[in-house]
Amino acid sequence: MGNLPVLAPEYNHHPIGGEQVQQTLLARALAARGHRVSMVTADYGQPEGAQWSGVTVHKAYALGAGLPVIRFVHPRWTGVWSAMKRADADVYYVSCSGAIVGQVVMFCRRFGRKAIFRVASDADCARETLLMKYWRDKKLYEYGLRRAHVLVQSARQQELLARNYGVSSYLARMLVESSGASRPFASRDMPVLWVNNIRWLKRPDLFFELAGALPELRFYMAGGGVPGEMDFFERAARDARAHPNLSMLGRVPYHEAQALYGRARVLVNMSDIEGFPNSYLQAWAAGTPVVAFFDPDGLIAKEGLGYAVSSMEGMRNAVRKLATDEREWRAASERCHAFMAREYGEDAVLQPYIDALVS
């Protein structure tokens, strides 16, 4: 529902996450190749049926509309189905675990259409890690998961789905939008960068701890609060002010955030649970190494794209090395560029999605 702020720059003051970026990049790429592509989003006040980048947008419901409890059915479920009918697609693609997966699959089964679900996080792959509050949402999600054509971001997600749900899936890598020409070490004015929505799951507290442990480096934090966790965001903002070497940039629109990766020497990620962060790909495309606890399919360690660490001490040492040692940084940066050129050409990344659409 939150794709429009990525697709349409005039709405980019609204919060987004990684999967909104992925769905939008996929829609644009397919539209550019001559496919008829439409998108169902929330109602941000945009005209019904308007187009951006060749993608037609149908609005489902306004965020926050409806009465508690009742709004689960109307306007949300009814709004989604109404917009899906207006789209009149042959194939419907949905991502992120939640009740909407079941709702989309039910629509497709009723009207003889195909449903594709793409896993967005490792948390989507086991009952005990699902980020859902209500039993009904979990049951609708499982209903859809078992009846959709399922795509995953990593071999780990593929194994988790098979083990926990008995569901087979197909690997589909992520698209990436380059941030432009890569800067040399000396002109990168952001030694350490963190990009994420500021919520507990992303562990901004550990970023503050890292900044406190490395007072000789400047730290930059890009991200805003999300609905339901605004109290946490306010606490995080207060904690950030205790660190004189840390600058909070606030929410940076996706179209402007691209430039940050090329200014950073190191991107850090403190999360324990992720899918395959867009920020990793955007950083590597800009020649920026990543230091993180979470290493999808062991790529960081295997390809030398920064450092995968298991402790705060390891995090401190890796960040200090890459942010201050130009020779070490340059070698890692060159590996990032080479990896992205070899593995993430758009045509190659798109092929599993096209295979899923036409199979």
pLDDT tens, residue by residue, 18-76 = 899 999 999 999 999 999 999 999 999 999 999 999 999 999 999 889 999 999 999 99
Give the strand pairing for 114-118 and 91-95: parallel
Smallest Cα–Cα separation from 282: which of 7, 22, 11, 6? 22
Residue 268 and residue 198 in one domain? yes
End-to-end CA distance of the chain: 26
Instruction: Specify whether 113 is located in the same domain as 38.
Output: yes
> Looking at the structure, do residues 224 and 154 belong to the same domain, yes or no?
no
- pLDDT, tens digit (0-9, with 9 covering 90-100), for 27-39: 999 999 999 999 9
Confidence of residue 181 (pLDDT cuts 50, 70, 90): low
Tokens standing for residue 199:
């919520």
For residue 302, what are the contacts with CB-CB under 8 A and spacing of at least 6? none
Domain count, the chain: 2
The CATH number for 19's domain is: 3.40.50.2000
Give the confidence band of 228 by pLDDT, cuts at 50, 70, 90.
confident
CB burial of 58-93 (b: ≥16 within 10 Å; e: otherwise) equals bbbbeeeebeeeebeeebbbebbbbbbebbebeebb
More confident residue, 211 or 14: 211
Q: Are residues 69 and 105 in the same domain?
A: yes
Predicted model pTM: 0.84
**Whether residue 201 sits in one domain with residue 170:** no
Provide mean pLDDT across the span 142-161. Answer: 96
Could you tell me if 237 and 298 lie in one domain? Answer: yes
Same domain for 354 and 336, yes or no, is no
Average pLDDT over every residue of 268-278: 88
Domain that holds residue 276: 185-343
Q: Are residues 305 and 157 in the same domain?
A: no
Residue 112 and residue 12 share a domain? yes
Q: Are residues 22 and 121 in the same domain?
A: yes
Round the average pLDDT of the chain to a whole number and report it: 94
**Does position 252 have pLDDT exceeding 90, yes or no?**
no
- pLDDT band of 151, cuts 50, 70, 90: very high
The answer to whether residues 322 and 264 belong to one domain is: yes
Please check whether residues 308 and 352 belong to one and the same domain. no
- Give the separation between CA 247 and CA 339, rounded to whole angstroms: 31
